[in-house]
Chain A
Amino acid sequence: MITRSDLPLRVINSSPQAIAKAKARARRSFRQIRTENVFRRSLMIMGLLMIVLVLGICLTLAMQSRLSISTLGAKYLWSKVWDPVQDVYGAWPFLLGTLLTSFLALIISIPFSISVAIFLGEYHPKGWLPNFLKNAVELIAAVPSVIYGFWGLAVLVPIVRSFESSIGVAPVGVGIFTSSLILAVMVIPYAASLGRSMISLVPSHLKEAAYALGATRWEVVRSVILPYTKSGLFAGILLSLGRALGETMAVTMVIGNTSDIPKSIFAPGNTMASVIANQFTEADKPVYLSALIELGLVLFLVTVVINLIGKKIIDRFTNE
C-alpha cells in the first residue's frame, strides 16, 4: 500500500505557474493513489465478506438454537421421540435417517463412481466416448435436485413399491431405500471427477515398472493405481458424503416424512434436512423452531468438518 509520505515530491522550476501545475499534478496522482488504495481495500473487504458470511452463518445458527440447547440439553441428540404437539423433541430419528440414507447411498454409488474414475483416468483418458461419458457424468450433477425428487416420486417409487411387495415387506414405496437410490445417483459425479483427476496424476514410471515386472492391466490398477490414489479416492467419497448429508429436496420428496425411528431400510423416515424443509414454516413454538435450527447447526458443522477433511486430503495429495 502506498501512502503520501512514501513519495518525495520535488519541484525544480520555481515559477508560480510551474508550482501550481506541479501541485495540480501531484494532487492528481495522489488522488489516483487514493483511489488505488480504496480499490485494494475494497478487494480485501470483499474477501473478508467470505469470512464474515461463514462466521455469520455459524453464529446465527448457534444463537437461534440457544433456546433448544439450554432447555433440551445434549440428550436432545439421542432422544428417540419427536412430537412437537406434546413438546417432546428428540433428534435421533432424523440423525439415524440421515446417516442411513447417506451411507446407503455411498455404498451403492461407490462401485459406479470408482469405475467411472478408473475408466476415465486409466483405461481411456482420451477419445469421444470417454469425453461423452465425462460430460454426461458431470450432467448428473447439473440436474436440479427437485427434478430428481419429482422423477423419483413418479417413476422410482412405484418400482420400489413392486420390489418391496415381491420381497414381502410393506409396499410403501417411499422411504429410506428410495431416497438412498436417488442420492446414490446424485453423488456419483463428485467422487468420480475427483477420482479421475487423482488417477490421472499417478506417475507413469510406477505403472511402467509394474508392467515391466509382468503385471497385467488389472494388477496394475489394483496394486499400483488404487494404493497410490486411495487417499484421493477417499477424499472424493468424503465430498460425496458431504453432498449426500445436506441434500434436501430430492430426499424430502421421496422419504415419506414420518418422525418415527425407521425400523428397516424400507421404512419411511426423515432426514435432518428434510425435517427442516417440512416443518420450519409450521414451527409455531419457539422451542420447536429452535430445535429445528439446532438440527441445521449440527448439519452445518458435520458438513463443514467433512468438507475440510476432504479438502485437506486433496491438498496434501496434489502437493506431493
Chain B
Amino acid sequence: MDAKNVKLRLGKSSGFQWLIYVLAFACLVPLMAILFYIVQAGVTKINWHFLVNIPKPVGESGGGIANALVGSIIIILVSAVIAIPIGIMAGVYLSENRRGRLAYWVRLCTDILQGVPSIVIGIVAYFWLVRPWDLGFIHHKGGFSAISGSCALAIMMLPIIVRSTEETLKLLPDTLKEAALALGMPFHRVIFKVIVPVGISGILSGVMLSVARITGETAPLLFTAFGNPYLSVNIAKPMQSLPLLIYNYATSPYQDWLNLAWGASLILLIWVLFLNILTKVITRKWKVQL
C-alpha cells in the first residue's frame, strides 16, 4: 500500500512538473504569434519609397511614413536630452545619500513615477505644456507641440534611468570614490571622471531600456505631440510619431493606411527588439547586475 502511495505521489509530482512546463512555454505562443504576424504583414510593405515618402491622402495608394520616422527620432532625441542628465544626477544623489530622509522620499517618488499610467502623464503634460501655449496668435491648433510630447516621454524615462543609475553605482566599491577623493579631486570630478565612467554600462543599459520603452508609448503623445500628416521638423509644432501613426491608421478603414500601419509596426518592433537585445549584450559583456 505504501509503495502504491509513493508511486501515486511521484506520479503527481511529475504530472505537475509537466503542467508547469507546458504553462510556462505556453506564454511564448502569443509572443511568437505576434512577432511572426507583424513580420509577415509588414515585411512586404517596407521599401525605399515607404521610408522616404509621407502618407498619401485617402484614395491614393502608396505613400510612406517618413514624417513619423523623422518625428519619432526628433521626439526621442529631445526627451533623451532632457531626461538623461536629470536622471543620472538624481541617481547619483540617491546612491550618495543612502539613508537620508529626503533620499527616502525621492526613492519613493521615483517608484511612484514608474507606476503612473502613461495616459495620466499625457493629461498632466497637456496642462503643463500644451494648454498654456494655446494662445490666439500662434497659428497651429491648440498649442500641441513635439516638445511637450518629448517632456511627457522624458517624465516616463526618468524613473528607469534614476533606478538603474542608483543600482549600478551602489554596487561600486566605496574605496574607488575614497581613493579619488584622497587624491584631492573635487567631488564633481570624482563623480564625472571616476564613478560615472566605471558604472557607465549599467547606466547605459538603463538609458537604452528607457528609450525602448518610450519609443512605443502612444498615450502621452495623444494630447501633446498630437500627430501631423505632413513632414515637420519644428519641435514647437505638432509632430507625427510611429506609435501615433500606427494607432491612427490601424483603426482606419482604408487598406492603404492599414498597410502603412503594418510597415510602421514592423519598424517599431525591430527598433525595440534591437534596443532590448543590445542592452542584454551590454549587460552580459560588462557583467552588470540589473
The listed residue (B89, B116, B218, B280) touching A300 by CB distance below 8 A is B116
Q: Does B16 interact with chain A (Cβ within 8 Å)? A: yes
Interface of chain A residues 94 through 137 with chain B (CB within 8 A): 111-113, 115-116, 118-120, 123, 133, 135-137
Please tell me the size bucket of the interface on B.
35 or more
Bound together, the chains give a CA A144 to CA B93 distance in angstroms of 31
Chain B contact residues, majority secondary structure: helix
B21 contact set on A, CB distance < 8 A? 115, 119, 123
Please tell me the size bucket of the interface on A.
35 or more
Q: In the complex, what residue of chain B is closest to A120 when comparing beta carbons? A: B24
B118 contact set on A, CB distance < 8 A? 246, 248
Q: Does B111 interact with chain A (Cβ within 8 Å)? A: yes
Using an 8 Å CB-CB cutoff, how does the interface string of B210-238 with A read, 1 for contact, 0 for none?
00110111110011000000000000000
Q: Does A280 interact with chain B (Cβ within 8 Å)? A: yes
A56 contact set on B, CB distance < 8 A? 124, 128
A60 contact set on B, CB distance < 8 A? 123-124, 127-128
Bound together, the chains give a CA A115 to CA B21 distance in angstroms of 7
Bound together, the chains give a CA A249 to CA B243 distance in angstroms of 10
- Quick check: B93 and A142 within 8 Å, CB to CB? no
A46 contact set on B, CB distance < 8 A? 86, 89-90, 93
Q: Does B25 interact with chain A (Cβ within 8 Å)? A: yes
The listed residue (B15, B117, B268) touching A303 by CB distance below 8 A is B117
- Quick check: A249 and B20 within 8 Å, CB to CB? no
Q: Does A44 interact with chain B (Cβ within 8 Å)? A: yes
B269 contact set on A, CB distance < 8 A? 143-144, 147
Q: Does B59 interact with chain A (Cβ within 8 Å)? A: no
- Quick check: B113 and A53 within 8 Å, CB to CB? yes
Known contacts A47-B102, A54-B113, A253-B247, A133 near B86 by CB under 8 Å: no
Known contacts A115-B24, A136-B28, A299 near B120 by CB under 8 Å: yes
Top 4 nearest A-B pairs by Cβ distance? A144-B216, A246-B117, A307-B115, A115-B23
